[in-house]
Amino acid sequence: MTLRRGFKKQARELALEVRAELGLPVFAPLDPWALAELYGIEVFDLSNPILPPESVRYLTEERPHVFSAALVPLQPSGAVIIENHVHPPRRRRSTIAHEMAHVLLEHPFGPTLTDENGCRSAVAEIEEEAAELSGELLIPTDAARVAAFKGWSDHSVANHFRVSVAMATWRMNMSAGRRIAARTRGKEETAHYATPA
């Protein structure tokens, strides 16, 4: 699947606007729960006492990998996110950012569910857009490029932005930061060793 023309640029700009609304510089880690609060989206976890105990036990103990989160529409307008609180914090951050990307992009939706394989929706383009925007929210392209110039490993990027190593690797690859940094270093070395005329 390929993102529609111009979407990556749109996602970069939107992520930077949203981060500015939160008062976050480009190189700061994003708090997805603060983002949800900013947009009036309540986040509940499976420890909520109104949920059926047998379902909660199934989703938190027996098969926790089958449910990460759900974006649930409310009538007449609005939505809430229900997340699986037993997942590792870094996965939860990514999950909430993904669900918030759907909100920010104003995707038309019914309930969307996220499991270990990502968000499940009938529309692949919508999921790809949400994945792209959530990546930009968590590790903006400009931040990934700064990290590349600093020579950071994927583990260092993951630790700084509080995301999984897989997310950090994807964002570093998508930003082309390391290629740009290597090219720049190559030009600097060539200039440094050039023989004066």
pLDDT at 94: 95
pLDDT bracket for residue 119 (50, 70, 90)? low
DSSP code per residue over 49-79:
TTS-HHHHHIIIII-GGG-SEEEEE-SSS-E
pTM over 0.75: yes
pLDDT bracket for residue 190 (50, 70, 90)? low
**Closest listed residue to residue 169, CA positions, set 182, 155, 181, 150:** 155
Average pLDDT, the chain: 87
Q: Which residues on adjacent β-strands are paired with residue 177?
A: none
pLDDT tens profile 130-153: 999 999 999 999 999 999 999 999
pLDDT at 117: 60
Quick one: tokens of 15? 């992520």
